[in-house]
Amino acid sequence: AERTGVSEVASLVAMLVQTERFGTSVADTLRVHAYSLRVQRLLRAEEQAGKAPLKMMFPTLIIFVATLIVTIGPGLMQMFSFFGEKKG
């Protein structure tokens, strides 16, 4: 377990050692371990899902500004050229 460096493997080995030491059911131990791994995976997924909107905010803002410039820019240029001709 130490060679892998994976905490899930280390906890599985520790649970199996305790199972053998106390003579309890290996199947029950594996069920409990599988359930805890599923819960950990779910929590990691929820954590990543919670971070996603923050990571998407900057690109969305950049795209919004670019779209705004492309949409409003020609009209503003035409308006400035129209009012610029009146003064001259």
Backbone conformation region of residue 62, classed left if phi is above 0, alpha if psi is from -120 to 50, else beta = alpha
Residue 17: which domain range?
7-87
Give the pLDDT confidence of 69-79 residue by residue, as tens digits. Answer: 999 999 999 99
Query: How many domains does one find in the chain?
Result: 1
- pLDDT bucket at 1, cuts 50 / 70 / 90: low
- Within a domain: residue 2? no
Helix 7-22 / helix 26-87 crossing angle, nearest 10 deg:
160
| Amino acid occupying residue 67 | T
- Within a domain: residue 1? no
Give the pLDDT confidence of 9-56 residue by residue, as tens digits. Answer: 889 999 999 999 999 999 999 999 999 999 999 999 999 999 999 999
The residue that leads in pLDDT, 5 or 73, is: 73
Question: What does the alpha-carbon distance between residue 48 and residue 46 come to, in Å, rounded to a whole number?
Answer: 5
Tokens of 37: 């791994």
